[in-house]
Amino acid sequence: MNKKIIYVGDPVCSWCYAFTDTLEKIKADFENSVEFSYIMGGLIIDRNLVLDEKVKRLLRKNWKEVETKTGKKIKALDMLENSKEFPYISDPGCTGFQIAKLKSEELAYSFYIKIHQSFYENLKDISDVNNLCSIAEDIGIDKEFFMDKFYDEKVKNLALKDMEKAKELGVKAFPALVAVDESGSKVLNQGFRKYSLLKVQIEAWLKGDVAAGDLMPVL
């Protein structure tokens, strides 16, 4: 298989959470025609943000916009008012994702889906290593393995390499899909896009009507 789609997302990206249904449709329709891989772009990295009143106000506005424009319900919105303060950052989730990726691409994807559900459906603290470890255990990753790797600098460096890779691919917003073949690569979307629009582009590419390097981004 010489054609690949790279998905670029982030553990705390609400538009990425809303895009999951679209991504699932793409995977279901094209899994026999294209290889999928996943990287984390790093939305909020190495910043001291916490879920305080200021951040809550910003999230309320953003999450309501996501619901309105995508139709995806964010259950955590109803829990935000009475939630406790905890770090609002990408770093720990990106590290956990890399640990799962040491096992396989698809296990990393499963971890990513679970971490989104944990935050956007249950408003759990996904900066907490114990919560992340529980998610990892749910998908079959050994607790000792996860905890050992979580503090490994090599794993943290893998997360940083993912972020650099996203930049090299030209990704500036999440979620993004990047088509890759012998001709090069092209970002198909920057942010949430409807499945019907992306499907047309992917089908034309897979049929050979257009090379990846000549694809037009879905606007």
Per residue in 145-192, pLDDT (tens digit) is: 999 999 999 999 999 999 999 999 999 999 999 999 999 999 999 999
pLDDT of residue 82: 92
For the segment 6-33, the average pLDDT, to the nearest whole number, is 97
pLDDT of residue 56: 96
Residue 197: which pLDDT band, with cuts at 50, 70 and 90? Answer: very high
- Residue 215 pLDDT > 90: no
Higher per-residue confidence, 48 vs 166: 166
- Residue 199 pLDDT > 90: yes
- The predicted-structure confidence for 2-16, as pLDDT tens digits, reads as follows 899 999 999 999 999
Domains for the chain: give ranges and CATH numbers. Answer: 4-214 (3.40.30.10)
- Residue 219 pLDDT > 70: no
- Residue 204 pLDDT > 80: yes
Q: In what order do the strands lie in the sheet with 176-181?
A: 35-40, 4-9, 176-181, 184-190
Residue 46: which pLDDT band, with cuts at 50, 70 and 90? Answer: confident
- The predicted-structure confidence for 72-123, as pLDDT tens digits, reads as follows 999 999 999 999 999 999 999 999 999 999 999 999 999 999 999 999 999 9
Say if CB 25 and CB 197 are below 8 A apart.
no
Residue 213: which pLDDT band, with cuts at 50, 70 and 90? Answer: confident
pLDDT of residue 26: 97
Residue 1: which pLDDT band, with cuts at 50, 70 and 90? Answer: low
